[in-house]
Structure 1
């Protein structure tokens, strides 16, 4: 046994124990014959640092992993980082810019060398921070999505899916970031409300008979208009459908088409259609028969105006930015008399979350995945129960998204990432000649070794196949070099697609590529499918669903059996955290201040299925106090000769208090196991918290104080061991420290066996101790409510009634504990049947005396078959106390009723901010409880 310091200091224990666990390989002990259990960590960005969302996500994963390890399983928690294409490229570009180096100037190869150099120096920050949190991952199994082995898996996936017709190249609209000049995913688009304008324009019919009004928030895009749409049932425009409009600036003739996209109730009911620069218009254009290849594009990659295919944009507008083009277009419309009116509006506007610039819907050639084909098996997996979604309410969202899924754009115009394994070469025409152009290229998909024989067969044996980064064809000059001048050798130059794959494409392979796939490894055989995935609901579509689709397609079964979706961490008032609001929380700062255990316990305790977490630092401080309570309990046990238990099963016990605490351990374990089975993290924390703080520390330790015989020492040691084991998944550091401090151990707590008490709840002992605790609580509450000085020793008279109390000996066995824990002395005890004794009965005189004490004014404690009375004469002013309590009770009831009335008003509950409604409910509960407590105190005065 090691004497513990007076105060618990997390900083001195956390680093030491984590280093020990990792050094000894205890995060994944050698258990080849054990039942496998697997979870994968959503790979954080290699550029990132630990934020509060990571802390929540990884705490929940660690809680499950530590418990499964203690159950004796081969628990594998796969850890790793994502290369984070656009985020990493942005960081490295910024670093190079600060040195006066431009990416375009040094070229792709040199730039990628800088990225790998940066990754080696700075890329491990978040993994070091995960260690601070206590994440017990298998670091020996750490993966990176740009590892050589992982890259092979990504390439294999692209090639295989292309063979199956699941990956294809197409021209569609994408979210285009003009600053980074790449397509981005919906997740990387942040919509903000921006103060803007609503322009109403007049478009004349080509025959000059009349004009039609259209409204837009982006007048500059009218330069690429290709139609005007009206609702097919809008009577105002029935006669105009099919007619043409002459564009007021370009002179382009565009048709009036019928489409339900046009809302008759919105504006004029007619809308301009710019299919090359608006997602809704794109669909309208396709329905109107406009092919994507024919849709007009008026912006270059940096969102400057360029000439459209028909050459009708005025020369003075070419080269303008979007803002400048807007000003010029509006001026021209006003000059032509085509500007009807301008209204101020708040416009939802898409921004790149990293670039901060307005995102442009842009028509480009990209690689796509046929997501609709992949989605059907993922839908069925949830419907059949092969994938269990927790909480179940998210299943509806899962179905809704997958049933309406769109093609998935997987190409990105970046240099950092998985290069698309597609190669372009000259296209063979039917006459045997060759041509090469932007849209006239032969595509080969695969690695160089796979492509070479196919290319040789395509071009013929008299051709030399050359893989080149530099294209042999100049689109501007039209010069195609395919013949080597010196040897007259025919050379087919194949150039690899310069784009890389969307990060979500590669991370969708995480549950099996990290296990060695596509090779048939032992890890893959044992650990796929994974048991559970824990994820924030905000990446349900971007990662979770895509993992399910890819896993089923490539592995033949879902990647995990259970998908657990947690909420977001918000600030104490329920507001979303953001740097601009200044309300973000640094988990490392909280760890420094309160310890990792306190933060972990807070996050688990507040994780209630389907609800966001309102993180208040006071909760973290409160659970730091909980750790201190546990620490002090260990010191108290040590001072009374209680050390480590040598038994997994509960010891034999005769004393009711010891039999009771054994039963409480059994019941707590049952609650804990049920919470784990149901993935109720809040209930896990609640069960162990109330047992440790309330049952064990506040009651058991106090009840046995001064009475530590051999039996009690054995039981106390065993019960405290059970606490350490049950609490370990939530608070690993303090429990491991105390586990060893209590005595010599044959193994570390991290690999100890999960509790198996092999005992039952002793009903009689539970009933007795509950009665004792209730008596003590009532006397203590009475003292507090009536402001009786803590140092004053109360003199009480007790009255026992009923056969149960008289026959069990509850009072006699526990009288000393009741007196000690209430600072009271029961001076006389009256025992008589349930009904008051008749005149002349031997106990009548005593009963009359007790009744007289009540009439004089006393504190009354009333429980079934037990009553106690403490005279208050000379101790408190009875009239003043009753007045005080009555006034306070009335005030609490008034506030309670006012809050109840507000909560019953739909105008408040439906229109107020959610955090305001939640606060009102919380305040109502508090006032109701306060009123009840004060009325109970009044009743004690009679």
Structure 2
């Protein structure tokens, strides 16, 4: 008596199924890593999204790629840890909170640091987890029990340890240097947080009079307001025009300050007049000249971008208002020569979205060269880490070569407060550039050291600034595992295995992690760096907030399901590091790219439902004898073919994922599941599933069950929810067991037969050809016909005879005749006068006699009408392409399109004429 048949619902419900499995995986801690697992470790730390963020398509793409890797490695038996977490995002959170305070009519200064931080933590607890919840919608197989935050207790302790160690080693210092100042966030920003934008501006030319009254020197600038802080004019020492003037002085307009003419090789004699105004306090190149020539360094700016008291009559004005007023004054006093339209590059703060100002400021810096040089040596000696694609290794190397000291202090309150205490009792209660300070891991330790050095009654004040967010992010691969303590996690999972990230943060993050990891642990933090491309929109443009062309992945998930979105993104990858494109209709929130993946999921669901329905209530385990029998026992040609294709697929998936060819693996799965398994094998074996139980039927059931179960395992890393759902129904597994932790299929070479696959492809092509000929001849789908296949060799004749049952079943063939082609006469002529349609398969010819099957006159009339239409279109295209005006004036792509269209209609014309000839 057959067992009760448990089948899938008639339709797949991605929303309900995905939510169910995400909940079960997490509640049962299916993905919790165990240090005593025993397998080789495989660890990835999530690139931590900003706590202020929300899910965007870049996150969905990157995390889909990572999840494929970690699910695959987990199924291969490795001890997998995918560690999640978020970054505290100093600038972003501060901007958000400051904006809210402004709406309330107050500021963080008025609120006070303690109350402000209480508010920041309250916001983090209530709204900061938004993106974590959204990431859960992606079905990520992360270990949520190990979730970290860059300001949690453990990571904060790691930051303190790292800062103190670098300071004690002389690699952190406090000094005055030219920094990028963001007036919007009122903080220094690193070079990496500066976005250079090309803008249409102006170049103003001014005359600076010589103090001896002998004339003028003409200078030009894009920032006229900075002339108020000029302390010299520079010329090239080899410039004959000005050699006699070097050492003389000029009268600075408006300010009436006497400034020298200096000679410096930095000046390009061919640019402009060859004279350059020098503002050491507000330009990095001028700063370097100022140091070389001992020039005064005048700061003109307040922190909010307005001019300070050194701006004279313009003090208090915003920098851009001051620019306009300075130009007006210079014009009134006769110093303005001319104004040119000028396209140039302006550095913008990536966070504040305003032009940055080079500003002389006292900040904290990391001395980067020792760290970068050690990392370079590791790269040059053993090529660690390995970049995929390898072209990014050169970009990474060049960046390390050119790194400057890293400004790590930020004038904010949210973040890791710098562990330095100023001895304010030594400078009358104020912090100045000369105030002595103590770096220590805690306030108590700072106090102890201060008393030992300065005596009882010493007063300390902690530095008000916080560390650059990237400082803590640079420690992420090992701080998240427990460093500086030697935890079990550190011993088991560090170094991590691979970093998956976009090329745009090689500089922000990758280089900093390698420098920090190598310095503090003596090991590179990861073996491989897999660089993925960008997700581009329907117009092939990069998605960005400024362009407002982002696509909300949650809308697509709601519409098509998580698995469909994940699979669509991965399948679009045509090579490591390449950008992908998503077709998207912004009016309807529909995507044909993701819809195709949803259709694939439905195809798998329906095919699985058919298979399970025809297993008679038995599971793959109960039908598992198919694994143990020789390839020739009880197996037909089609069975051996699908088993060969299946084991070839296993090899392909393993090879591609092992080499980061994730898109290629996804495509191979699609082609096998949709084509080989669903469209061909299932259709081929339907007759054998009919009737009473028999050895033949059991063989088919065993093959179907084994291939379906194995294919679900292969597809699981890409589409985890639907495969988990089908697998549980197919295997009738207990709900404490999961496909996610089953062994990944292994290829068995004895089943792989390339010659058999090549032979069987002829059978498939003959069926396709018969179907196409039937359509062209207008033969009704249910009508059975006679078919002749004429072959040129014994091999093909044997193949078609072996596949005769398949051809007759799927081609709706009543009588199939397989014979050798006549030695003489035209192909397809067998001495009979029947009207036939013919097609070619390999070196064989398929013939369908039409007499008595179709209405020949009606078919002929239809073909003549089609031919007339095609000829008309061909004539039109030929006319356009013969027109010189069209060729000369049309865009190249339009001309190419017309040529391609002409080729296509010419081929159609030939086919129709051949068909009519046969009639």
Fold in common (TM above 0.5) = yes
The question of 1:615 aligning with 2:609 is answered no
The question of 1:283 aligning with 2:288 is answered yes
Q: Contact 2:709 / 2:727 at 8 angstroms: preserved in 1?
A: yes
How far apart in 2 are the matches of 1:931 and 1:361? 66
The question of 1:820 aligning with 2:794 is answered no
The question of 1:175 aligning with 2:180 is answered yes
Measured after TM superposition, the shift of residue 352 of structure 1 is: 3.2
Residue 271 of structure 1, aligned match among 269, 272, 276? 276
**Residues 368 and 930 of structure 1: is their aligned pair in 2 closer, same or farther, counting only changes over 3 Å?**
farther
How far apart in 2 are the matches of 1:889 and 1:780? 28
Please give the residue correspondences for 1:372-411 in structure 2 after superposition, counting only pairs within 5 Å. Answer: 372-383=369-380, 384-411=382-409
The question of 1:858 aligning with 2:845 is answered no
The question of 1:3 aligning with 2:7 is answered yes
Match of 1:546 in 2: 512
The question of 1:805 aligning with 2:796 is answered yes
Between 1:642-651 and 1:68-77, the stretch displaced more is 642-651
Secondary structure class of the residue paired with 2:800: helix
How far apart in 2 are the matches of 1:893 and 1:152? 76
The question of 1:777 aligning with 2:768 is answered yes
Match of 2:732 in 1: 744
The question of 1:416 aligning with 2:414 is answered yes
Residue 724 of structure 1, aligned match among 698, 704, 712? 712
Deviations 1:205-261 (A, max 9, x none): 232222121111110111011222334444433333343322112122323334454
Secondary structure class of the residue paired with 1:214: strand
Secondary structure class of the residue paired with 2:378: helix
Deviations 1:734-773 (A, max 9, x none): 1101111223126211111100243431245323321111
TM-score, structure 2 as length reference: 0.89
**Residues 258 and 790 of structure 1: is their aligned pair in 2 closer, same or farther, counting only changes over 3 Å?**
farther
The question of 1:597 aligning with 2:559 is answered no
Match of 1:207 in 2: 212
**Residues 929 and 816 of structure 1: is their aligned pair in 2 closer, same or farther, counting only changes over 3 Å?**
farther
The question of 1:196 aligning with 2:201 is answered yes
Match of 2:670 in 1: 689
Secondary structure class of the residue paired with 1:546: helix
The question of 1:425 aligning with 2:431 is answered no
Q: Contact 1:893 / 1:927 at 8 angstroms: preserved in 2?
A: yes
Deviations 1:404-452 (A, max 9, x none): 1111110000000001111111597xxxx99976122112111234333
Match of 2:445 in 1: 450
Match of 1:476 in 2: none
Q: Contact 1:786 / 1:937 at 8 angstroms: preserved in 2?
A: no
How far apart in 1 are the matches of 2:903 and 2:764? 24
Match of 1:484 in 2: none
Match of 2:117 in 1: 112
How far apart in 1 are the matches of 2:482 and 2:646? 43
Q: Contact 1:87 / 1:354 at 8 angstroms: preserved in 2?
A: yes
Q: Contact 1:176 / 1:360 at 8 angstroms: preserved in 2?
A: yes
Secondary structure class of the residue paired with 1:236: coil
Deviations 1:518-551 (A, max 9, x none): 0000100111100000011111101111000000
Deviations 1:595-627 (A, max 9, x none): 000110111112332322222121011101110
Match of 1:633 in 2: 607
**Residues 59 and 921 of structure 1: is their aligned pair in 2 closer, same or farther, counting only changes over 3 Å?**
farther
How far apart in 2 are the matches of 1:924 and 1:353? 47
Between 1:695-704 and 1:604-613, the stretch displaced more is 604-613
Q: Contact 2:425 / 2:460 at 8 angstroms: preserved in 1?
A: no
Secondary structure class of the residue paired with 2:674: helix
Deviations 1:449-477 (A, max 9, x none): 43334323321xxx22xxxxxxxxxxxxx
How far apart in 1 are the matches of 2:648 and 2:879? 40
How far apart in 2 are the matches of 1:381 and 1:834? 72
Match of 1:474 in 2: none
Please give the residue correspondences for 1:665-680 in structure 2 after superposition, counting only pairs within 5 Å. Answer: 665-680=646-661
Secondary structure class of the residue paired with 2:523: coil
Match of 1:467 in 2: none
Q: Contact 1:352 / 1:359 at 8 angstroms: preserved in 2?
A: yes
How far apart in 1 are the matches of 2:61 and 2:466? 31
Q: Contact 2:625 / 2:702 at 8 angstroms: preserved in 1?
A: no
Q: Contact 1:651 / 1:715 at 8 angstroms: preserved in 2?
A: no
Measured after TM superposition, the shift of residue 730 of structure 1 is: 0.6
Secondary structure class of the residue paired with 2:365: strand
Residue 530 of structure 1, aligned match among 493, 496, 502? 496
Between 1:152-161 and 1:668-677, the stretch displaced more is 668-677
Measured after TM superposition, the shift of residue 649 of structure 1 is: 8.4
How far apart in 2 are the matches of 1:837 and 1:137? 69
**Residues 152 and 783 of structure 1: is their aligned pair in 2 closer, same or farther, counting only changes over 3 Å?**
same
**Residues 896 and 719 of structure 1: is their aligned pair in 2 closer, same or farther, counting only changes over 3 Å?**
farther
Residue 190 of structure 2, aligned match among 185, 189, 194? 185
Match of 1:645 in 2: 620
Match of 1:700 in 2: 681
Deviations 1:11-50 (A, max 9, x none): 1101110110111111125452221110010111111111
**Residues 937 and 861 of structure 1: is their aligned pair in 2 closer, same or farther, counting only changes over 3 Å?**
farther
Q: Contact 2:229 / 2:299 at 8 angstroms: preserved in 1?
A: yes
Secondary structure class of the residue paired with 2:578: coil
Q: Contact 1:435 / 1:441 at 8 angstroms: preserved in 2?
A: no
How far apart in 2 are the matches of 1:397 and 1:46? 29
Q: Contact 1:644 / 1:721 at 8 angstroms: preserved in 2?
A: no
Measured after TM superposition, the shift of residue 886 of structure 1 is: 6.5
Match of 1:240 in 2: 245
How far apart in 1 are the matches of 2:881 and 2:770? 27
Match of 2:340 in 1: 343
Measured after TM superposition, the shift of residue 71 of structure 1 is: 0.7
How far apart in 2 are the matches of 1:163 and 1:412? 21
- Structure 2 portions without partners, runs of 5+: 584-590, 690-696
Match of 1:14 in 2: 18
Match of 2:529 in 1: 563
Secondary structure class of the residue paired with 1:366: strand
Between 1:699-708 and 1:725-734, the stretch displaced more is 699-708
Deviations 1:474-527 (A, max 9, x none): xxxxxxxxxxxxxxxxx2111111100000000100000000000000100111
How far apart in 1 are the matches of 2:743 and 2:666? 19
How far apart in 1 are the matches of 2:186 and 2:352? 10
Match of 2:694 in 1: none
Q: Contact 1:48 / 1:126 at 8 angstroms: preserved in 2?
A: yes
**Residues 367 and 720 of structure 1: is their aligned pair in 2 closer, same or farther, counting only changes over 3 Å?**
same
Match of 2:357 in 1: 360
How far apart in 2 are the matches of 1:926 and 1:2? 52
**Residues 414 and 426 of structure 1: is their aligned pair in 2 closer, same or farther, counting only changes over 3 Å?**
closer
Secondary structure class of the residue paired with 1:742: helix
Please give the residue correspondences for 1:46-85 in structure 2 after superposition, counting only pairs within 5 Å. Answer: 46-85=51-90
Between 1:94-103 and 1:392-401, the stretch displaced more is 94-103
**Residues 523 and 355 of structure 1: is their aligned pair in 2 closer, same or farther, counting only changes over 3 Å?**
same
Match of 1:876 in 2: 859
How far apart in 2 are the matches of 1:737 and 1:29? 23
Measured after TM superposition, the shift of residue 712 of structure 1 is: 0.9
Measured after TM superposition, the shift of residue 268 of structure 1 is: 2.1
Between 1:200-209 and 1:108-117, the stretch displaced more is 200-209
Residue 295 of structure 1, aligned match among 297, 301, 304? 297
How far apart in 2 are the matches of 1:52 and 1:787? 47
Secondary structure class of the residue paired with 1:396: helix
How far apart in 1 are the matches of 2:439 and 2:650? 56
Between 1:32-41 and 1:339-348, the stretch displaced more is 339-348
Measured after TM superposition, the shift of residue 79 of structure 1 is: 0.5
How far apart in 2 are the matches of 1:261 and 1:787? 81
- Structure 1 portions without partners, runs of 5+: 465-490, 839-843, 910-916
Measured after TM superposition, the shift of residue 782 of structure 1 is: 3.7
Between 1:134-143 and 1:771-780, the stretch displaced more is 771-780
Q: Contact 2:777 / 2:837 at 8 angstroms: preserved in 1?
A: no
The count of corresponding residues between Structure 1 and Structure 2 is: 877
Measured after TM superposition, the shift of residue 96 of structure 1 is: 3.5
